[in-house]
Amino acid sequence: MRTEPTTFSAESYFATQLPPSTLQHDIDNIRQFLARQVKEGRNVVLVTSGGTTVPLELNVVRFLDNFSTRGATSAEYFLKAGYAVIFMHRQFSLQPFSRHYSHSTNPFLDFLEIETAQNELGGSSRISVTPEKREHLLEVLTAYKTVHALGTLHTLTFVTVNDYLWLLRAVSQEMAILQRRSMFYLAAAVSDFFLPRQKMSEHKIQSGKGSLLIEMDQVPKILKPLVDEWTPGGYIVSFKLETDENLLLPKAKQALERYGHQVVIGNDLHRRKFEVVFVTRKSPPPTVVADATKPTDPFDEYWLRIDIPAHPAPGEPVKEIEEDIVAELVKRHAEWIKQA
Amino acid sequence: MRTEPTTFSAESYFATQLPPSTLQHDIDNIRQFLARQVKEGRNVVLVTSGGTTVPLELNVVRFLDNFSTRGATSAEYFLKAGYAVIFMHRQFSLQPFSRHYSHSTNPFLDFLEIETAQNELGGSSRISVTPEKREHLLEVLTAYKTVHALGTLHTLTFVTVNDYLWLLRAVSQEMAILQRRSMFYLAAAVSDFFLPRQKMSEHKIQSGKGSLLIEMDQVPKILKPLVDEWTPGGYIVSFKLETDENLLLPKAKQALERYGHQVVIGNDLHRRKFEVVFVTRKSPPPTVVADATKPTDPFDEYWLRIDIPAHPAPGEPVKEIEEDIVAELVKRHAEWIKQA
Q: What is the pTM of this model?
A: 0.82
Mean pLDDT within B224-240: 94
- Residue A314: pLDDT band (50, 70, 90) is low
Contact assignment for A66 to B61 by CB distance below 8 Å: yes
In chain B, what's the furthest Cα-to-Cα distance?
94
Confidence at residue A293, expressed as pLDDT on a 0 to 100 scale? 66
The percentage of residues in chain A with a pLDDT greater than 70, rounded to a whole number, is: 84
Contact B64 A61 (CB under 8 A): no
Beta-carbon separation of A63 and B64 below 8 A: yes
Q: What ranges in B17-67 are assigned the alpha helix state H?
A: 23-39
- Of residues B202 and B71, more confidently modeled: B71
- Higher-confidence residue: A75 or A5? A75
CB contact under 8 A, A112 and B137: yes
How many helices and strands in chain B, by DSSP H and E? 8, 15
**What pLDDT was estimated at residue B323?**
97
> Distance between CA A279 and CA A302 in Å, rounded?
7
Task: Tell if the CB–CB gap between B214 and A216 is shorter than 8 Å.
Answer: yes
Number of H helices, E strands in chain A: 8, 15
Mean pLDDT, to the nearest integer, of A92-99? 85
Contact B244 A203 (CB under 8 A): yes
Contact B66 A66 (CB under 8 A): no
* pLDDT of B204 above 80: no
pLDDT band at B59 (very low <50, low <70, confident <90, very high): low
Residue of B nearest to A94 (CA): B103
What pLDDT does A137 receive? 94
Q: Given an 8 Å threshold on Cβ–Cβ distance, is B211 in contact with A91?
A: no
**Which band of pLDDT confidence, cut at 50, 70 and 90, is reported for residue A93?**
confident
The residue among B248 and B125 whose pLDDT is bigger is B248
For residue A84, give every residue at least 6 positions away whose Cβ sits within 8 Å of its Cβ, in sequence order, or none.
Answer: A33, A37, A42, A43, A44, A45, A152, A153, A154
Which H helix or E strand runs over A174?
A: helix A161-175
Q: What pLDDT was estimated at residue B62?
A: 46
pLDDT at A172: 95
Q: Kindly indicate the confidence band of residue A53, based on its pLDDT and cuts at 50, 70 and 90.
A: low
Please give the pLDDT value at position A50. 81
Over residues B121-128, mean pLDDT: 78
Q: Does the distance separating the beta carbons of B91 and A1 come in below 8 Å?
A: no
* Position with higher pLDDT, B330 vs A126: B330
A40 Cα to chain B: minimum distance (Å): 25
| Angstroms from A337 CA to nearest CA on chain B | 34
A154 has a pLDDT exceeding 90: yes
Task: Give chain B positions within 8 Å (CB) of A114.
Answer: 138, 141-142, 145
Q: Is the pLDDT of residue B123 over 70?
A: no
Q: For the residues A193-211, what does the mean pLDDT come to? A: 70
Query: B150 pLDDT exceeds 90?
Result: yes
Q: Coil, helix or strand for B198?
A: helix
- The mean predicted confidence, pLDDT, of chain A is 85
Nearest CA in chain B to A146: B114
pLDDT of residue A66: 46
Which residue has better confidence, B244 or A4? B244
Shortest CB distance from B204 goes to which of A2, A67, A242? A242
Give mean pLDDT, residues B6-21: 84
ipTM comes to 0.77
Name the residue facing B98 among A61, A94, A109 (closest C-beta).
A109
Minimal C-alpha gap between A179 and chain B (Å): 31
* Residues 6+ positions from B29 with CB-CB distance below 8 Å: B154
Q: How confident is the model at residue A122 (pLDDT cuts 50, 70, 90)?
A: low
Q: Which residue has the higher pLDDT, A295 or A43?
A: A43
d(CA A206, CA B238): 17
Better-scored residue on pLDDT, A55 or A197? A197
What is the average pLDDT across A6-15? 82
Q: Which residue of B has its CA nearest to A5?
A: B210
Q: What is the mean pLDDT of chain B?
A: 85
Q: Pairing between strand A62-66 and A54-55? A: antiparallel
Q: Could you tell me which residue, B311 or A151, shows the higher pLDDT?
A: A151
- By Cβ distance, the residue of A67, A201, A269 closest to B59 is A269
- Domains in chain B (CATH in brackets) are 10-205+212-339 (3.40.50.10300)
In terms of average pLDDT, the best of A37-46, A212-221, A284-293, A300-309 is A37-46
User: Which one of A5, A92, A134 has the shortest CB-CB distance to B210?
Assistant: A5
Which of A103, A114, A146, A254 best probes binding to B when mutated, by most B CB atoms within 10 angstroms? A103
pLDDT above 70 for A307:
yes
Q: For residue A189, what pLDDT is reported? A: 83
Q: Are B269 and A61 in contact (CB under 8 A)?
A: yes
Q: Among all residues of chain B, which has the CA nearest to that of A51? A: B62
Among candidate residues A145, A40, A143, the one with its CA nearest the CA of residue A84? A40
Which residue does chain B place closest to A137, by CA atoms? B127
Instruction: Test B218 with A211 for CB contact under 8 angstroms.
Output: yes
Predicted pLDDT at B80: 97
- Taking CA atoms, what residue in A is nearest to B128? A128
Pairing of strands B153-158, B84-90: parallel
DSSP B202-245: SSPPP--SSEEEEEEEEPP--HHHIIIII-TT-EEEEEEEESSH
How many CB pairs (< 8 A) connect A and B? 217
Concatenated DSSP letters of B242-298: ESSHHHHHHHHHHHHHHH--SEEEEEETTTTTTEEEEEEE-SSPPPPPS-TTSPPP-
Contacts of A112 in chain B (CB under 8 A): 137, 141
Q: What is the mean predicted confidence (pLDDT) over B147-167?
A: 91
Which residues are registered as beta bridge partners of B186?
B48, B238
pLDDT, residue B6, reads 53
CA distance A217 to chain B (A): 4
Range of A45-54, B25-34, B282-291 with top mean pLDDT: B25-34
* Range with top average pLDDT, A65-74, A250-259, A264-273: A250-259
Angle at B238 between CA B151 and CA B176, to 5 degrees: 50
Q: Is the pLDDT of residue A156 over 70?
A: yes
The pLDDT of residue A91 is 77
Average confidence (pLDDT) over A27-52 = 93
Task: Mark yes or no for CB contact B138/A157 under 8 Å.
Answer: no
pLDDT range class, residue A332, cuts 50, 70, 90:
very high
Least confident range from A33-47, A122-136, A290-304, B255-269: namely A290-304
pLDDT in the model for residue A207: 60
